[in-house]
Amino acid sequence: MHASHDHGPTPRRFLPAGPLRGRIRVPGDKSISHRSIMLGALAVGETKVTGLLEGEDVLATAAAMRAMGATVERQGDGSWSIHGTGVGSLLQPVTALEMGNSGTSTRLLMGLVASHPITATFTGDASLSHRPMGRVIEPLSQMGADITASPGGTLPLMLRGLSPAVPITYRLPVASAQVKSAVLLAGLNTAGITTVVEPVPTRDHSERMLRGFGADLWVEEEGGIRTIRLRGEAELRPQTIIVPGDPSSAAFFAVAALLVPGSDLVIENVGLNPTRAALFTVLRQMGGSIVELHPREVGGEPVADLHVRHSPLTGVAVDPALAPAMIDEFPILFVAAALAKGRTVTTGLEELRVKESDRLATMAAALTAAGARVTEQEDGLTIDGTGGDPLSGGAYPVATKLDHRIAMSMAVAGLVSQGGVEVDDTAPIATSFPTFQHLLDSATGNR
């Protein structure tokens, strides 16, 4: 939960704004931030990380790696310095590893511990303690780890690692980058070849970064099925990592600049991993001007500066095959659709009903309250846009259901409304993007 709710909600009315201009940077990618600390803590020597996302989840990962013997320090200039122990040399933590609300930290760190001869206890907050860990307990147990979880396979749990662990071939029963990553991380200290088979491709940040740190990892693809193999007993080499800006955070500013007349904005250093960046593909299909400047590769990840200019948008039918690579971006896409010319249709989005909120129902209600024309189906929304005319806005606060992405999406809707849109609570935005309101105010000249 969010600490700020101890003091009740923090509402704000987002008013029509001037064009978005200049250059901005959004916070670093969360997935890459977690992994850079974990792998840096397993490499001997100094790994330097700049642009780390300093949210509570990532700091939980840093604290855990410290507890197992790595040195993880924030420098005065905002960069981070990590001195690792080497694969196989993690130390037994003295106290429980406190994971807060971070499912990523928990599942990936369970993988790391599983092939080391140490025992660790994982605890989390009330919300994390309801989330299923059985999906990682199963493969890690096959590798030889001894795991005692709470009833229902949840936290708190105790994991006794086995070294040498047993290399396995594991076919993912559920599409989960976290489960895949846990098995691969366990494979780092396991003699032989650890194999993960993915019937449905998921985010590939772990594979890219493992390779970047020097692990022997290769991927075969046949008939849409990916087979990932990792040769164990790896020696990781320290790296210098510039964490790319989070594409999910950049999405709000890209859509705002497309919608607000006169906008001409450069969003610097955006990660464009193809398993994450499909929103930009769809916005271009709608007629959005989004140009990649200075495309480059950083730590195995594709990165570019995005130059976004105000563009009249036209509604499209969004290919459901793109959904996994833009699942968190649908709330802000719905705002773009509400201002486009014609009809936008989305399907295959059942997954959105089980996110931080039921994002289909919550966005349908919020956009309707702000004057958009929205029809809700079981697996998506159909939106008839205004053709660029501003939304009417709303007299009453829209309900964001404590969902950070809904709050930010409706903030952008306020910029392109006549009377503004009042968001019932801006506090949850801090979970993924604490500087959002400040950046939005400065880009629109509302300083």
pTM of the model: 0.83
| 401 labeled part of a ligand binding site | no
Beta strands across the sheet bearing 264-271: 21-25, 264-271, 301-309, 289-298
Residue 418 among known ligand-binding residues: no
- Is 359 annotated as ligand-binding? yes
Query: What local confidence, expressed as pLDDT, does residue 200 receive?
Result: 83
Whether residue 355 is annotated as binding a ligand: the answer is yes
305 is catalytic: no
To the question of whether residue 48 is assigned a binding role by annotation, the answer is no
- At 447 the pLDDT is 63
pLDDT at 6: 53
pLDDT of residue 130: 83
pLDDT, residue 1, reads 41
Q: Where in the chain is the domain with CATH 3.65.10.10?
A: 3-28+244-443, 30-241
Q: Which CATH number fits domain 30-241: 2.40.50.100, 3.80.10.10, 2.60.200.20, 3.65.10.10?
A: 3.65.10.10
Catalytic residue among 57, 305, 328, 425: 328
Q: Are 381 and 334 in contact (CB under 8 A)?
A: yes
Amino acid 102: pLDDT: 87
* pLDDT score recorded for residue 2: 43
Has 35 been labeled as part of a binding site? Answer: yes
Residue 170 has a pLDDT of: 98
To which CATH superfamily is domain 3-28+244-443 assigned?
Enolpyruvate transferase domain (3.65.10.10)
Tens place of pLDDT for every residue, the chain, 447 residues? 444 445 689 999 999 999 999 999 999 999 999 999 999 999 999 999 999 998 888 999 999 999 999 999 999 999 999 999 999 999 999 999 999 888 899 999 999 999 999 999 999 988 788 888 999 999 999 999 999 999 999 999 999 999 999 999 999 998 889 999 999 999 999 999 999 999 888 889 999 999 999 999 999 999 889 999 999 999 999 999 999 999 999 999 999 999 999 999 999 999 999 989 999 999 999 999 999 999 998 878 899 999 999 999 999 999 998 988 888 899 999 999 999 999 999 999 987 886 767 899 999 999 999 999 999 999 999 999 999 999 999 889 999 988 889 999 999 999 999 999 999 999 888 877 889 999 999 999 986
Q: Is 176 annotated as a binding residue?
A: yes
